[in-house]
Amino acid sequence: MPEPKELSDAEWRERLSPDQYHVLREAGTERAFTGQYDKHFEQGAYRCAGCGEMLFESDSKYNSGCGWPAFTGPVEGDAVEERRDVSHGMIRTEVLCSKCGGHLGHVFPDGPPEQGGMRYCINSLSLDFDPKD
């Protein structure tokens, strides 16, 4: 099986739903307050819906009120990559899965100060959830 970053467009379209493809491969955004993980607070881990890479732990999730799942930070290591995004007339920092390059969302410096001050604003469509045993 090819590495996720080496999959063709057709293979991604086969692997993902149309909405997931739009978010993960075309840097789309789901509508605010519509994602399945916005108000989801079970214990467990969030993985990339494109490749299964572990991205966030439930302990870092909080209710920011922004309409998308919000996390104070990714799991330890290099699970995510960040890059400058100047699309839509804004300057933001895009968050991508380091394993498959899938678009996850954006990070902003307005998170809880006592937890590092960052808000990883992530699309539910880019995530899968593994409940804690």
Is 121 one of the catalytic residues?
A: yes
The answer to whether residues 103 and 28 touch, using CB atoms and an 8 Å cutoff, is yes
Between the CA atoms of 78, 8, 34 and 121, what dihedral angle is there, to the nearest 10 degrees? 20
DSSP state of 19: H
Within 13 A of 125's CA, how many CA atoms are on the CB side? 22
Cα diameter, the chain: 44
Q: What amino acid positions are annotated as catalytic residues? A: 121
